[in-house]
Amino acid sequence: MDAIVLLKDDHKTVEGLFKKFEQAGEKAYAEKRRIVDKFTKELVTHAHIEEEKDWFPQVRAAMGRKELQELGERMEAARAEAPAEPLAVKSAAQ
Ligand SMILES: [Fe+2]
C-alpha cells in the first residue's frame, strides 16, 4: 500500500463519516454518537500513524530541510484557501 494512498483513504473515511452524520436524522442521537465515536477513533489513528510511526522523520530525511520549508510555505498558503465546508474538500467528491 502506497503511504499517500493510505493517508488519503483515511481522509475519505472521515469525510464519509461526516456525510453520514449530516444525513442522520436530527433526533438520531444514538446513531450520531456512534458516528462521532468512529470519527474520533479514525482521527486519532490517523494522527498516530503520521506522528508516532516514523513517517514524518522519514519524509524529513528524504526531502531535506529546504524542500520541506518550501512545501510548508505552500501548505500555509493553501490553508488560507481551505473551504469551511468539510464536504467541499477534493477527496470528498471522489
Ligand atoms: Fe491527514
Q: Is the pLDDT of residue 93 over 70?
A: no
Q: What number is the average pLDDT over the span 72-81? A: 91
Residues whose CB is less than 8 angstroms from the CB of residue 89 and which lie 6 or more positions away in sequence, other chains included: 11, 15, 82, 83
How many angstroms separate the alpha carbon of residue 27 from the centre of ligand 1? 30
What is the gyration radius of the CA atoms in the chain, in angstroms? 16
Higher pLDDT residue, 56 or 92?
A: 56
Residues 63-73: tens digit of each pLDDT:
999 999 999 99
Question: How far is residue 55's CA from residue 88's CA, in Å, rounded to a whole number?
Answer: 27
Residues 3-57: tens digit of each pLDDT:
889 988 998 999 999 999 999 999 999 999 999 999 999 999 998 888 887 788 8
How many angstroms separate the alpha carbon of residue 13 from the centre of ligand 1? 11
Q: Answer left, alpha or beta for residue 92, where phi above 0 means left and psi between -120 and 50 means alpha.
A: alpha
Q: Answer left, alpha or beta for residue 11, where phi above 0 means left and psi between -120 and 50 means alpha.
A: alpha
